[in-house]
């Protein structure tokens, strides 16, 4: 995709001087992963003006040159290490929070990623515990700490959580948080500008080095070499190093000496979260977004996205955006729409879904589908709900916990109770049994 900031600026110069004035001293970076353009401006006033008055106009022009779904973020330019030559950047890993809430001297620290909004489950328990220990006593517990796992599973979140924890509890700690790509790029620039000594001084005089996506080292021998020496120097001084990667050290294509450095510390992997953790993460995200999302919708999303937490979050945001846009309630139908947007490979994998069962049962008993997820207790509703749970248990492979979630966040013991009750009724009540079989036939149609 082509993205040329200069030609966009030229266009403004010719057509919209007001915008151009405020953009003249800006630079822009395209973050391909996030499909976002980050515009860096010289002052808070620039930011305010552009955000309040001109953002739509800029977005329109940017979209015309890039794509329709791109978003914009305007940030204040941070002074680089040397004022004359602003530090070059190639990727932006995370979009920073407003400046007032973040430590200025740690520009890449993302204050949104914290321990208190990180949901712990079996899949990440060890990585979380190790990170917490390191954050509480850098250089004294696990050193280095190496966290690895698949895309979108929380590695970057943990890395920044360590940074935030240390910053809040030991603000005097000299720390650097960076990505390996940025490290590499800075190194190349330093070599080009004969500033290698500055670069060395910067990286070798800190107490804590947090470096994301170490697999990038596979791409550059110069960076590997430099990183190796940085590593040794810090390590020998008992300074803490934390690295993340998409694979285990032994599976990286790196020199043995570097791999064995990583292996000398502690290696923590993050696996894909189970259903309950996924629901808990969604609940946490909904809370952060200040939205009440029904349990059955959370369960629906968690059921259909089981490998990538980032996708869980973006699907939830999409659902909320859709419901605002269309002024409708948040339902599983809406979730289905959002899933089709965020997850191109989304398909309904199950022949008989809970949705379908709930619709047929509600119709049969002449009640609303929502009643099945409610806490209403009138006999006919309670029975319909229990039958629907029983049928779901028998016709699908959802677990008791999952079924409970789908029926309005009920406990698995409630589901168990429903199943036992219906089982008994089928055995003892002929009339009930006939009705039940009729219902199952309808569902299977
Ligand atoms: P990675 O670096 O492993 O690719 P990230 O750390 O960027 O993944 O996580 C992707 C998204 O998922 C982020 O928004 C992050 O906050 C969220 N996330 C990941 N794991 C958790 C968790 N255990 N609890 C809450 N949010 C999480
Ligand atoms: Mg990451």
Ligand 1 centre to CA of 1 (Å) is: 27
The reported pLDDT for the residue numbered 347 is: 55
- The ligand that comes nearest to the alpha carbon of residue 148 is 1
Tokens of 117: 């909004």
% of the chain surpassing 70 pLDDT: 92
The reported pLDDT for the residue numbered 111 is: 92
Q: Where are the alpha helices (DSSP H) in 137-246?
A: 155-169, 180-192, 196-204, 221-236
- Please answer whether residues 156 and 277 qualify as being in contact, where contact means their C-beta atoms are separated by less than 8 angstroms: no
* Mean pLDDT, range 230-249, rounded to an integer: 96
**pLDDT at residue 70 greater than cutoff 80:** yes
Q: Where are the alpha helices (DSSP H) in 193-308?
A: 196-204, 221-236, 256-263, 275-288, 295-304
The reported pLDDT for the residue numbered 86 is: 38
Which of 77-91, 156-170, 259-273 shows the lowest mean pLDDT across its residues?
A: 77-91
What average pLDDT does the structure give for the chain?
Answer: 87
Q: pTM of this prediction?
A: 0.64
The reported pLDDT for the residue numbered 101 is: 52
Residue with the bigger pLDDT between 345 and 264: it is: 264
**pLDDT at residue 310 greater than cutoff 80:** yes
Which of 72-86, 139-153, 220-234, 262-276 shows the lowest mean pLDDT across its residues?
A: 72-86
Ligand 1 centre to CA of 81 (Å) is: 30
pLDDT category at 351 given cuts 50, 70, 90 is low
The reported pLDDT for the residue numbered 350 is: 46
pLDDT category at 82 given cuts 50, 70, 90 is very low
State how far the Cα of 408 lies from the Cα of 371, in Å rounded to an integer: 9
Residue with the bigger pLDDT between 89 and 130: it is: 130
Q: What digits encode the pLDDT tens for the residues 6-16?
A: 888 888 877 77
% of the chain surpassing 90 pLDDT: 61
Provide the 8-state DSSP code for 51. I
Alpha-carbon dihedral sign for residues 61, 65, 70, 72 = negative
The reported pLDDT for the residue numbered 92 is: 30
The reported pLDDT for the residue numbered 224 is: 94
Q: Point out the ligand 1 atom lying closest to the alpha carbon of residue 273.
A: 23
Q: Which residues line ligand 1 (CB under 6 A)?
A: 113, 117-119, 124, 149, 151-157, 281, 284, 309-310, 313
Best residue for ligand 1 mutational test, from 310, 314, 316 (most atoms within 8 Å of Cβ): 310
State how far the Cα of 38 lies from the Cα of 28, in Å rounded to an integer: 6
SS3 assignment, position 270: strand
Domains of the chain plus CATH, in order, are 5-94 (3.30.300.180), 115-270 (3.40.50.300), 274-348 (1.10.8.60), 350-445 (1.10.1750.10)
């Amino acid at each position: 995709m082509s993205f040329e900031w200069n030609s966009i600026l030229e266009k403004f110069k010719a057509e919209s001087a007001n915008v151009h004035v405020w953009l003249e001293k800006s630079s822009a970076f395209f973050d391909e992963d996030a499909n976002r353009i980050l515009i860096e401006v010289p002052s808070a006033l620039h930011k305010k003006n552009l955000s309040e008055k001109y953002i739509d106009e800029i977005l329109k022009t940017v979209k015309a040159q890039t794509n329709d779904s791109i978003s914009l973020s305007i940030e204040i330019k941070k002074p680089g290490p040397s004022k004359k030559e602003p530090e070059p950047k190639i990727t932006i890993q995370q979009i920073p929070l407003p400046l007032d809430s973040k430590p200025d001297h740690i520009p890449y620290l993302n204050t949104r990623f914290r321990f208190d909004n990180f949901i712990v489950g079996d899949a990440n328990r060890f990585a979380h515990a190790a990170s917490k220990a390191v954050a509480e006593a850098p250089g004294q517990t696990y050193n280095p700490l190496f966290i690895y796992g698949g895309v979108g599973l929380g590695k970057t979140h943990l890395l920044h959580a360590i940074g935030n924890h240390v910053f809040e509890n030991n603000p005097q700690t000299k720390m650097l948080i960076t990505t390996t790509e940025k490290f590499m790029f800075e190194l190349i620039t330093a070599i080009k500008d004969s500033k290698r000594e500055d670069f060395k001084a910067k990286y070798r005089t800190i107490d804590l080095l947090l470096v994301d996506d170490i697999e990038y080292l596979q791409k550059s021998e110069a960076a590997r070499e430099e990183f190796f020496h940085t590593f040794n120097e810090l390590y020998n001084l008992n300074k803490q190093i934390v690295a993340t990667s998409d694979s285990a050290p032994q599976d990286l294509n790196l020199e043995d000496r570097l791999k064995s450095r990583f292996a000398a510390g502690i290696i923590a992997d993050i696996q894909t979260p189970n259903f309950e953790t996924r629901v808990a993460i969604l609940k946490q995200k909904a809370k952060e977004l200040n939205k009440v999302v029904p349990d059955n919708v959370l369960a629906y999303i968690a059921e259909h996205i089981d490998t990538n937490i980032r996708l869980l979050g973006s699907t939830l945001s999409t659902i909320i955006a859709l419901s605002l846009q269309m002024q409708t309630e948040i339902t599983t139908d809406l979730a289905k729409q959002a899933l089709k947007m965020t997850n191109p490979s989304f398909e309904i994998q199950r022949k008989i879904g809970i949705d379908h069962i709930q619709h047929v049962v509600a119709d049969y008993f002449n009640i609303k589908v929502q009643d099945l997820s409610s806490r209403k207790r009138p006999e006919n509703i309670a029975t319909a709900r229990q039958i629907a749970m029983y049928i779901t248990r028998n016709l699908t492979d959802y677990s008791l916990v999952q079924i409970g979630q789908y029926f309005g966040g009920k406990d698995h013991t409630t589901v168990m109770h429903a199943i036992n009750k219906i089982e008994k009724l089928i055995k003892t009540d002929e009339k009930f049994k006939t009705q039940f079989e009729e219902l199952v036939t309808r569902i299977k149609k």
